[in-house]
Amino acid sequence: MKDLLRPALIICVALAVPILPFLVFGEEAEAWMTEWSRRPGSAMVTALVIVGLLAGDIFLPTPSSVISTIGGWQLGALVGTLVSWIGMTLGAMIGFWLARRWGRPLALWISDQRHLDRMHASSERYGPLILVIARGVPVFAEASVLLMGIHQLAWRRFLIPVVLSNLGIALAYSAFGDFAEKYQWLPLAMGVSIALPVVLTIMVLRWLPRDGESIMPPAVEGRDEE
């Protein structure tokens, strides 16, 4: 049980950071965000910030579920989806390119040996499908991207599942944020956007093999195809 609770707690804390202002200042923080959204040019700035945060997710524990929900709240379902999708896809592409170029040392600097080992054991059974399975799960989404980069998976085989998965995730959270804004359910939306990734993390931790294996097996089929 400790194997599950500790990482879930860490992820929960990281996900909760963006909503601290709403918990501490309550209606004042929400009123400020509403006022900000009415300023000229605020939508462009918000979009750029969201893209930047999600694109840097490979380096920092950015809570993409919370960021995408806020994006839907501020920008609407359609624009929020597009912005979150671009940010998440850029982040995955950056991590994949770095892992392909610098391999295991870089991947271990960004991620963790245990996470990569668990991803490898599962990828031997599911192959690139592991990118779809882990896409909405904090930590393991990044680990799966790095692992496929280490394996020198072809860009075409990497991009198709990642792009489609990111689109679905961005649409779900952005639409939820837009819905929450219309009905003034933002605190509930923030709570759900924190709880769902934690539940998914616990499920994945129970499903993935516990005993680590080498992360340097023969390359995945499709090596060096561009």
66-102 pLDDT tens trace: 889 989 988 999 999 999 999 999 999 999 999 888 8
pLDDT at position 211, please? 47
Secondary structure of residue 76 in the 3-state scheme: coil
Domain that holds residue 161: 2-207
> Could you tell me if residue 85 is inside a domain?
yes
Element containing residue 222 per DSSP (H, E): none
Q: Which tokens is 222 given? A: 């499709």
Query: What sections of the chain are H helices per DSSP?
Result: 2-16, 20-25, 27-37, 42-55, 64-75, 77-110, 113-126, 129-134, 140-150, 155-183, 186-207
Q: What are the pLDDT digits (tens) for 11-33?
A: 555 555 555 555 555 566 566 56
Structural domain count, the chain: 1
> Could you tell me if residue 216 is inside a domain?
no
Q: What's this model's pTM, rounded to 2 decimal places?
A: 0.73
Q: What are the pLDDT digits (tens) for 30-39?
A: 665 666 666 6
> Could you tell me if residue 219 is inside a domain?
no
